[in-house]
Structure 1
């Protein structure tokens, strides 16, 4: 068994089950895999950030981070939860590498559109409110000094909501919204938002980054 422990963080309105396919691929590559269930629907992102931090502090108290490298992988909003946790320098001493998959790191235009045309939605689905551009700016997010962070974006706009986006997108998130400063590596795959984290190819690129700090190998 490898000396890596991978923690998978699901996205908006999902549960840990949405990450099981990726987890199974990574287990086949000899990784230890754990999942978190987070309230990413009716609670703001900060609530899930606190949950992740407590989980990681638990690993630290048990000494796991001394024996294994801790890898965080987040899909969509799960990536924002990870970034929020990394704003705490104590967490940065626990985590070794991070991969953000189809995460709206620069804000989500669909969330902004929902606020404009359906303002009541963010009062009910509070995670959606956290994705609005103005609230993204308020998140104390961390951009990568001391922890290797990479991001993967999708470019196959095969979902209905993708029609409302002007730039290249995965049906939910624009490629430019995934890109941010401080990344160790960045990759664009011709996949949609709901499938990008469920392909063996994605798992292979993630494995490359964990082992070599690059998605590509010579």
Structure 2
């Protein structure tokens, strides 16, 4: 059983999702003027549709949520991040001068956001970023895939970027201007989670999501494929965007860190 899971690893990682070949932006709209634009980034082998649950929660709270499509299956993370940078530039060009935006990414999408913050000249316009189930310190599953076959990770190039030894090559660094929080899941009900030794969400280990320098970190009882669709996660994202913390603020506390 374990051998079969390892051999089928890349297929299982891609399964149950349609990776759009198109490079476009889907935007959730509402009639009233939005408070703030939030750019949503999907994870490995997904597309913008996978972020629509979170976009819906944000829309209802007065945010303007924009979900982007990125080549996060057969391209390296830095290559997808270059596509993302161009999309962000277009989004920013449609906003008032120096208007700030926020970002939230699921899984590998969080690494794309961090790459943007480390390498784009527009990083100062990102006030807050939330990384949801992001393998910030690399993916143990990507390492397992590499052990099975180097050809596998070379073909599914995003996986190669996720190998722990390759994370430093992304040159990630978090700017002081941006508050960054991370949300990890610890419900391991996905078959691939059995290949991981440490606490995980079925795909990503909790300790990989957390890293030094985060402004806040929280763990929720969801697995990798559901964490970004849950209302509790959306509430945590919104709370962080508004206060810079995942902690509930007292009703009398008017001190926002926006």
TM-score past 0.5 threshold: yes
1:167-189 Cα offsets, whole Å, 9 max, x none, are 11000000000001111110100
1:169·1:175 contact (CA, 8 Å) conserved in 2?
yes
Per the normalisation by structure 1, the TM-score is 0.95
Q: Which of 114, 123, 137 does residue 83 from structure 1 map onto?
A: 114
What is the aligned length? Answer: 217
Q: Which residue of 1 aligns with 2:79?
A: 47
Q: Which residue of 1 aligns with 2:94?
A: 62
Q: Which of 184, 191, 201 does residue 232 from structure 2 map onto?
A: 201
Q: Which residue of 2 aligns with 1:119?
A: 150
1:71·1:97 contact (CA, 8 Å) conserved in 2?
yes
- CA RMSD, Structure 1 to Structure 2 (Å): 1.3
1:145·1:182 contact (CA, 8 Å) conserved in 2?
no
> Deviation at 1:144?
4.3
2:181·2:215 contact (CA, 8 Å) conserved in 1?
yes
Distance 1:64 1:79 in 2: 25
1:106-146 Cα offsets, whole Å, 9 max, x none, are 01111011101122211211111110112111111123422
1:65·1:94 contact (CA, 8 Å) conserved in 2?
no
- Per chain length, whose mean CA-contact separation is higher, i.e. which structure has more relative contact order (CA < 8 Å, sep 6+)? 1
Q: Which of 215, 226, 240 does residue 184 from structure 1 map onto?
A: 215
Q: Which residue of 1 aligns with 2:186?
A: 155
Distance 2:75 2:120 in 1: 24
Distance 2:36 2:190 in 1: 34
Q: What runs of 5+ residues in structure 2 fail to find an aligned partner?
A: 1-32, 251-258
1:5·1:32 contact (CA, 8 Å) conserved in 2?
yes
- Determine helix, strand or coil for the equivalent of 1:71: strand
Per the normalisation by structure 2, the TM-score is 0.81
Q: Which of 132, 137, 143 does residue 168 from structure 2 map onto?
A: 137
- Determine helix, strand or coil for the equivalent of 1:187: strand
1:216 aligns to 2:247 (yes or no)? yes
- Runs of 4+ displaced beyond 4 Å: none
Q: Which of 22, 25, 33 does residue 65 from structure 2 map onto?
A: 33
2:153·2:160 contact (CA, 8 Å) conserved in 1?
yes
> Deviation at 1:65?
5.8
Q: Which residue of 1 aligns with 2:44?
A: 12
- Determine helix, strand or coil for the equivalent of 2:182: strand
> Deviation at 1:29?
1.0
> Deviation at 1:30?
1.1
Larger Rg: 2
